[in-house]
Amino acid sequence: MRLTVGQALIRFLANQYSERDGVRQRLIPGCFGIFGHGNVAGVGQALLEYAADMPYHLARNEQAMVHTAVGYARARNRLQLLACTSSIGPGATNMVTGAALATINRLPVLLLPGDTFATRVANPVLQELEDFGSHDTTVNDCFRPVSRYWDRIHRPEQLPAALLAAMRTLTDPAATGAVTLALPQDVQAQAYDWPVELFAERTWHVARPAPEPAALDRAAAVLRGASRPLVVAGGGVIYSGASDALRDFAEATGIPVAETQAGKGSLPWDHPLAVGGVGATGSTAANALAARADVVLGIGTRYSDFTTASRTAFAEPGVRFVNLNVTGFDAGKHAATALVADARDGLTALAGALAGYRTGADYRSTVDSLTAAWNSTVDSAYDQGHAPLPSQAEILGAVNRFATPRTTVINAAGSMPGDLQRLWRASGPGQYHVEYGFSCMGYEIAAGVGVKLAEPDREVVVLVGDGSYLMMAQEIVTAVAERLALTIVLVQNHGFASIGALSESVGAQRFGTSYRFRDQGSGQLDGALLPVDLAANAASLGARVTSAGTVAEFTAALARSRGSAGVTVVHVETDPLAPAPGSASWWDVPVAEVSSVDSTRKARAEYEAGRRAQRNYL
């Protein structure tokens, strides 16, 4: 079959399927893209020719379209994904941030950047990086360290092997992330006689690896010896569809369950054994249990520094770890007893191996007491009545009370991820979507588009601060063009609230974290607040906008947004200095060792005290 490389690529992608537990579906049901000279005649022409087989979506920013694809893949539990195509040059390098986010979060996305001419006869072409040491280096080499699989297709004959390797990586739960196929623009348009077998329907079976019996016995032996065990549920629980297995395991054993950002919603918040987030942005209940846990069962977690509170959370001198993870790299962290397996099937097997084991009544009573105290703290935060401006905690509480089990709340950066992990009451998996592996500003609205495309019947509420909004608001236009119903909560606090608080904690006095005029007297950016009208900006992009001044007005605006067509933005100003409940935890952010500033010297002393609690789990 004689086709161009671009046509063969799209024909192949349109015939790929994934299957897990007997459910078969299109693996790549669409492609986002922005066209330039590096892809318009190749992949762009092919998308036109095969539009019925591979729907095309136009994004407004290349980084954003990768975020959209990541949001889509997460909403589909990594069983479906989107492709993204760009031109060579800035279009390609714009996608590097999205690639890093996908790979860090173990989420699949296929990136198809254009590349410079393979023939090199026109070198240097527009946007070509001239490496003095090699003609083979292009800007697309930036994708290598942030891709799980990377290849450059110099000749048509290379395409089949690269495509098969790409699909294998994208559908491997233990190895997934960004996959990049760099496509020289002349090669994309080159014709070749392809074997028809390349375009046959192909099903990629997503494995559920079973635990190795001896490893299962070792893990069960460690857990049977525990008197104060704690589960840390990560994103692997959600992606595996293991929530029911986790609930059954917890109820059978009496082991309380703490959650990471990616694992939030693994158990409903009001389950008696759900103790909230753990670590630097966790609940006081989970962190009190973590501090005394003698065995920690990590399920589908990669143990980020926030989860471990920079290795201070699990403070018991003899603490031991059992890690159930589909990825051996993560299963082996903290010198753990490793159980490499699918989360759902691993939990079922582990429950069987622990038959008859149950935590003591005194420990379960402690869990109940700590959880009740934390729930009271959250209630108070939701109803604190802060004035004259509401607190961010009150706004999040209003959104939480508004949400149903079919609502997905989305956030990524700023102070909200911390407040959300502490305060959000997730009713189940799928309701909570906070990207905190890369914590990328600008992710929120783009991901909202992806989640809504993945699950059109879901109510999607995007939470975004003014700093993140200003970085990537333009994807409102994409949502409008796609006729997607999104509710965007735009929290205005005139700067970077979370970094302002962090700056203050390290003695840097919130320097450079507010949106202000440069003061003519001081020469610093500490003048009056900028007259930025974000509500007007959102309206100019096609959204329907309401501004709220109080929690009551905000709640009413949310209620009006339900069931509305198109994009609704609810704009609310909050007090960035309003208090929110803390986690009674620590995070390692180094402080200047010497300084003439008093606040910095004080912060350094506090930092050194906190660092003394750090440990290696050996």
Say yes or no: 239 and 288 in one domain: yes
Range of the domain at 180: 2-205
- Phi, psi at residue 336, to the nearest 5°? -75, 160
Query: Span 538-544, mean pLDDT?
Result: 97
Model confidence at 321, pLDDT cuts 50, 70, 90, reads very high
Say yes or no: 134 and 283 in one domain: no
Residue 610, domain member (yes or no): no
Output the average pLDDT for the chain: 95
- Residues 290, 281 contacting (CB under 8 angstroms): no
CA separation, residue 495 to residues 48, 215, 309, 386, 515 (Å): 43, 50, 26, 20, 5
Say yes or no: 184 and 318 in one domain: no
pLDDT of residue 500 exceeding 80, the answer is no
Say yes or no: 460 and 562 in one domain: yes
Q: Can you name the residues that pair with 55 across neighbouring β-strands?
A: none
Q: Summarize pLDDT for 63-87 with one digit per residue, the tens.
A: 999 999 999 999 999 999 999 999 9
Instruction: Tally Cβ neighbours within 10 Å of residue 52.
Output: 7
Instruction: Tally Cβ neighbours within 10 Å of residue 17.
Output: 16
Number of domains in the chain: 3
Model confidence at 541, pLDDT cuts 50, 70, 90, reads very high
Residue 579, domain member (yes or no): no
Say yes or no: 73 and 163 in one domain: yes
Say yes or no: 184 and 239 in one domain: no
The predicted structure's pLDDT at residue 502: 73
pTM score, whole prediction: 0.96
The predicted structure's pLDDT at residue 550: 95
The predicted structure's pLDDT at residue 100: 98
- Phi, psi at residue 85, to the nearest 5°? -120, 145
Query: Span 146-159, mean pLDDT?
Result: 98
Residue 291, domain member (yes or no): yes
- Which of 178, 205, 232 is the last residue before a domain boundary? 205
Say yes or no: 407 and 370 in one domain: no
Query: Span 342-365, mean pLDDT?
Result: 98
CATH of the domain at 45: 3.40.50.970
**Alpha carbon distance 131, 146 (integer Å):** 20
**Three-class secondary structure assignment of 259-327:** ECCCCCCCCCCCCCCEEEECCCCCCHHHHHHHHHCCEEEEECCCCCCCCCCCCCCCCCCCCEEEEEECC
Say yes or no: 195 and 241 in one domain: no
- Which of 158, 179, 205 is the last residue before a domain boundary? 205
**Alpha carbon distance 82, 129 (integer Å):** 28
**Alpha carbon distance 436, 413 (integer Å):** 7
The predicted structure's pLDDT at residue 498: 67
Say yes or no: 345 and 197 in one domain: no
CA separation, residue 220 to residues 213, 216, 521 (Å): 11, 6, 68
- Residues 547, 571 contacting (CB under 8 angstroms): yes
pLDDT of residue 533 exceeding 70, the answer is yes
Say yes or no: 365 and 404 in one domain: no
* Strands 337-340, 407-411: pairing kind: unpaired
Query: Span 529-558, mean pLDDT?
Result: 94
Say yes or no: 177 and 244 in one domain: no
Say yes or no: 538 and 565 in one domain: yes
- Which of 205, 228, 262 is the last residue before a domain boundary? 205
Q: Summarize pLDDT for 410-462 with one digit per residue, the tens.
A: 999 888 999 999 999 999 999 999 999 999 999 999 999 999 999 999 999 99
Q: Summarize pLDDT for 503-514 with one digit per residue, the tens.
A: 777 777 778 777
pLDDT of residue 580 exceeding 90, the answer is no
The predicted structure's pLDDT at residue 493: 82
- Residues 100, 111 contacting (CB under 8 angstroms): no
